[in-house]
Structure 1
Amino acid sequence: MSDRTENLLLAAPGLLLLALAFFLPIGQMLVLSVDGPEGATLAHFSRFLGDGFYLGVLWRTVRLSLIITVICALIGFPLAYIMARVGPRARLWLIILVILPLMTSVVVRTFGWVVLLSRNGLIPELLRDMGLAGRTFALMQTETAIVIGMVHVLLPFMALSILGVISRIDTRLEEAGRTMGCSFLQTIRTIVLPLSLPGVVAGSLLVFTLSASSFVTPNLLGGPRLQVLAASIYKSVTQTLDWPFAAAQAVVLFAGILLVLIPYVRLTASDNG
């Protein structure tokens, strides 16, 4: 038996599981998205692309996902750098603090933000007491609430992705930059940031895809008025029972995420080659 045949036999159970758990549902979704009374049709996609409401939902999903990704990167990079450069004991506690929220249900964490951001919650009350907001000020059922909740949920993925890269950067490179006259910020900009870009890109892709497909947090914090694409799919499945249209929306979401992932896969493949 050749090595190639042996490797295929060893990989066969995993490939079969992947086919049953991923490719088969995706194939069924694709078939359902073009299902019509008289056979295959693109009417569901035409309905989606021709309706301003659904295009607005798509744009809101993409826009909020980009905003959440940028904020997570701006917070996650310095957090990851601090975790990578402090002592082992402090690093351990910082990693625990970052990972700890992941051990709590997303629903529980989101309801915590519901309490904090509600009209009589701690944050609006504090802003009103400081004179920074009016009596009718509210954060719940706004895009701001969605961004705050999603950043809290997804920040660990960004920080840990960047941490894995920064931890492998030789500190002597930073010392050399400082010796050559660079300030701390110049060293970060010219040495650390370029070398940590793979982690930033990987974390950004992870945060963007999770944000674009998220349902619970945007639905609870944004409410029915501010729908994202995942919530629209859920509504089509559970309320209007229009499964083919829901499948078409899911295909649009899936295709959009693929368009983001493919350039990264090609870039990493060319770098490895």
Structure 2
Amino acid sequence: MSDRAENTLLVLPGLLLLALAFFVPITQMLVLSVSGENGPTLDHFTRFLGDPYYLNVLWRTVRLSLIITVICAAVGFPLAYIMARVGPRLRLWLIVLVILPLMTSVVVRTFGWMVLLSRSGLVPQVLRDLGLAERNFSIMQTELAIVIGMVQVLLPFMTLSILGVVTRIDRRLEEAARTMGCTFMQTLRTVVFPLAVPGIVAGSLLVFTLSASSFVTPNLLGGSRIQVLAASIYRSVTQTLDWPFAAAQAVILFAGILLILVPYARLAGGRSNG
């Protein structure tokens, strides 16, 4: 048996599993999104794109995902740099602290934020005591609550993505920059940050896609007033029982994520070839 045939036999079970677990459901979703009483139709997509309410839901999903991604990058980059430059023992404990929230259910963490951000919670109470908020102030059921909860959930993905790149940056490059007269911040801006861009891009891609498709945290912290696309899909399936329209919304979400994945894959391929 040739090497090619052996490789094909080895890959075949994985390809079959991928087809059953990914391509078959995606195909069914695509078929359902264009199904109508009288045959294939694009009415479900037309309904979504022609309704200001659903366009607003789509825009809110994209906007919140971008805000969450930017905040995670702004916090994750310095955190990853500190983790990469401290001693091995302290680095291990910092990595454990970053990974530890991932060992707790997202639902449990979200309920914790619901307690902290509610009208009688710790955060609004502190703001009221400092005179920064009114008596009935509450962060729950706002976009701010969604951003806070999602940043806490997704920050480990960004930090670990950047950490994997920063740890491979030669410290002698930073020492050379400092020798040439750069300050610490100038060294970060001109040496470390450009070399860490692949990790930032990978982390941003991961955070954005997870944020855009997240349902539990936005639904619990935002409530019914602040709808995102995943919650709208869930409502179409469970409340209105409009499965074709829910599939159309899922296709739009899937296509939007692909629009981000494809350029990144080409960029990553170009870097590797270069």
Please say whether Structure 1 and Structure 2 have the same fold, judged by a TM-score greater than 0.5.
yes
CA deviations on 1:214-245 (whole Å, 9 max, x unpaired) are 00000000000100000000000000000000
How many angstroms does 1:136 deviate by? Answer: 2.0
User: How do 1:1-273 residues align onto structure 2 when only pairs under 5 Å count?
Assistant: 1-273=1-273
Partner SS for 1:199: helix
Give, in angstroms, the shift of residue 3 of structure 1. 1.7
Distance in 2 (alpha carbons) for counterparts of 1:3 and 1:263 = 33
Find the aligned partners of 1:35 and 1:2 in 2 and give their Cα distance. 45
- Which amino acid in 1 is paired with 2:31? V
Give the superposed CA RMSD: 0.5
Distance (Å, rounded) in 1 between the aligned partners of 2:88 and 2:250: 44
| Offset at residue 8 of structure 1 (A) | 1.1
Deviations 1:12-47 (A, max 9, x none): 000000000000000000000000000000000000
**How many residues were matched structurally?**
273
Unaligned runs of 5+ in 1: none
The one-letter code matched in structure 2 to 1:95 is I
How far apart, in 2, do the equivalents of 1:8 and 1:51 lie?
A: 48
Task: Give secondary structure in 2 for the equivalent of 1:253.
Answer: helix
In structure 2, what is the Cα distance between the partners aligned to 1:79 and 1:111?
Answer: 26
Report how far residue 57 of structure 1 moved: 0.3
How big is each residue's C-alpha offset from its partner over 1:40-97, in whole Å with a ceiling of 9 and x where there is no partner? 0000000000000000000000000000000000000000000000001110100000
After the TM superposition, which segments of 4 or more aligned residues of structure 1 sit over 6 Å from their partners?
none
2:184 and 2:248 map into 1 onto residues whose CA distance is: 50
Pairwise CA distance, 1:202: 0.1
Mapped to 2, the partners of 1:271 and 1:140 lie a distance apart of: 43
Return the offset for 1:2: 2.2
Cα deviation 1:179-235 (Å, max 9, x = unaligned): 010000000000000001000000000000000000000000000010000000000
Identity fraction in percent = 79
In structure 2, C-alpha distance between the alignment counterparts of 1:253 and 1:38, rounded to whole Å: 26
How many Å apart are 1:126 and its aligned residue?
0.3
- Distance in 2 separating the partners of 1:228 and 1:22: 24
SS in 2 for 1:39: coil
Provide the C-alpha distance between the structure 2 equivalents of 1:252 and 1:4, rounded to a whole number of angstroms: 38
CA distance in 1, matches of 2:8, 2:164: 31
1:123-142: CA deviation from partner (whole Å, max 9, x where unpaired): 00000000011112110000
Structure 2 gap ranges (5+):
none
Matched residue of 1:133: which SS?
A: coil
Q: Distance in 2 between matches of 1:85 and 1:225?
A: 44
Give distance in 2, aligned partners of 1:4 and 1:227: 50
